[in-house]
């Protein structure tokens, strides 16, 4: 009996050792898998996908170390690998108001459908003041659009830009912030010419003005009246930004729309009126953007194209809307 019990104990001990060893292997494998998953879903470092030395002919990094995206400075493959795993959705707001025509909207949407965030979920938010001018719209896979009416005018002094920003504020709070991970706002008088991809995504994204980037910085048309909320003193300012494009996370866009409305209200109380673009520039002067898009992303083909412009992403139409 003793020998039998000894044999049973030895077998039990051996089985226990095997189970412990097996559990250890499983745990180690799970830890390794978890580490790989976390590593692959971590946001790439700037140096992983952005190389400012590739374009020594232009400004590629700001004083606050934000990247300026030019053709040749970014590695799309690294960013694609990261964002594809996150299954992100990008929103694009286009303002189909004022003097636009159905053809303007059709050209914008058709070109965006072809070049904007290819391979990703995209929602086009079309803000309109007259739905009767909506053209027939056909979209590719992963793309959809939503029609949103412009909010009614409130106070007498509210111009179209104020009404537009009020409308965007309402819709971001109401549903957009839950529908998309990133959001861009663009004017309708633009045509996409080449891919506008994930290299443009960031917390707060500003567009460098195509004309003023190459001009004397002392001449930029900042608001110079000290009593205006958009005031930037002479000798101050970083860049002159174009109001045709801005973006970021929905929360950052919402912050700007709220600050803009507050600034316009203050100016109105002081008997002043500044431009929407001046207010945008003041906002980005105080709240530095985390990513800047080069003039290649919003080039005016009526300008003489300098050698620094390697690949036009968006071409502005000559008429301002």
* Catalytic residue list: 277
* Distance in angstroms (rounded) separating the CA atoms of residues 169 and 20: 58
DSSP state of 196: B
Measure Cα distances from 315 to 90, 104, 108, 189, 206 in Å: 21, 13, 11, 9, 17
Measure Cα distances from 169 to 84, 259, 283 in Å: 28, 11, 16
* Closest to 260 measured CA to CA, from 239, 284, 238, 236: 284
Which three-class secondary structure state does DSSP give residue 157? coil
Dihedral sign (CA 176, 181, 182, 188): negative
* Distance in angstroms (rounded) separating the CA atoms of residues 298 and 312: 7
Query: Per DSSP, which regions of the chain are E strands?
Result: 68-69, 89-96, 121-128, 143-149, 182-187, 190-192, 204-208, 241-248, 291-293, 314-316
Helix (H) or strand (E) holding 172: none
Q: 150-156 contacts: CB < 8 A, separation 24 or more?
A: 150/97
Pairing status of strand 241-248 against strand 182-187:
antiparallel
**Beta-ladder partners of 205:** 247, 291
* Distance in angstroms (rounded) separating the CA atoms of residues 120 and 112: 13
Pairing status of strand 121-128 against strand 143-149:
parallel
* Closest to 246 measured CA to CA, from 163, 300, 168, 131: 168
């Amino acid at each position: 009996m003793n020998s039998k019990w000894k044999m049973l104990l030895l077998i039990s001990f051996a089985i226990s050792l095997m189970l412990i060893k097996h559990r250890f292997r499983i745990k180690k494998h799970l830890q390794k898998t978890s580490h790989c998953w976390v590593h692959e879903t971590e946001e790439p470092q700037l140096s992983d996908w952005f190389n400012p030395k590739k374009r020594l002919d232009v400004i590629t990094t700001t004083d606050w170390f934000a990247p300026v995206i030019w053709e040749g400075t970014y590695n799309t493959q690294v960013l694609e690998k990261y964002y594809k795993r996150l299954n992100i959705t990008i929103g694009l707001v286009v303002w189909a108001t004022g003097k636009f025509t159905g053809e303007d909207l059709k050209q914008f949407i058709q070109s965006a459908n072809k070049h904007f965030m290819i391979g990703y979920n995209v929602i086009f938010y079309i803000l309109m003041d007259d739905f009767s001018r909506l053209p027939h719209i056909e979209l590719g896979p992963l793309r959809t659009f939503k029609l949103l009416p412009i909010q009614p005018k409130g106070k007498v002094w509210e111009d179209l830009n104020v009404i537009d920003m009020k409308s965007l504020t309402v819709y971001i709070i109401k549903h957009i912030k839950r529908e998309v991970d990133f959001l861009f706002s663009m004017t309708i008088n633009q045509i996409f010419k080449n891919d506008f991809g994930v290299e443009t995504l960031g917390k707060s994204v500003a567009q460098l003005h195509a004309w003023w980037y190459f001009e004397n910085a002392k001449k930029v048309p900042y608001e110079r009246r000290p009593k205006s909320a958009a005031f930037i003193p002479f000798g101050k300012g970083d860049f002159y930004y174009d109001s045709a494009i801005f973006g970021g996370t929905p929360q950052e866009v919402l912050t700007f729309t709220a600050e803009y409305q507050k600034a316009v209200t203050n100016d109105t109380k002081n008997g002043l009126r500044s431009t929407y673009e001046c207010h945008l520039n003041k906002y980005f002067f105080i709240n530095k953007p985390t990513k800047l898009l080069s003039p290649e992303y919003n080039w005016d083909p009526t300008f003489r194209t300098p050698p620094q412009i390697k690949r036009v992403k968006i071409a502005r139409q000559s008429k301002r809307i």
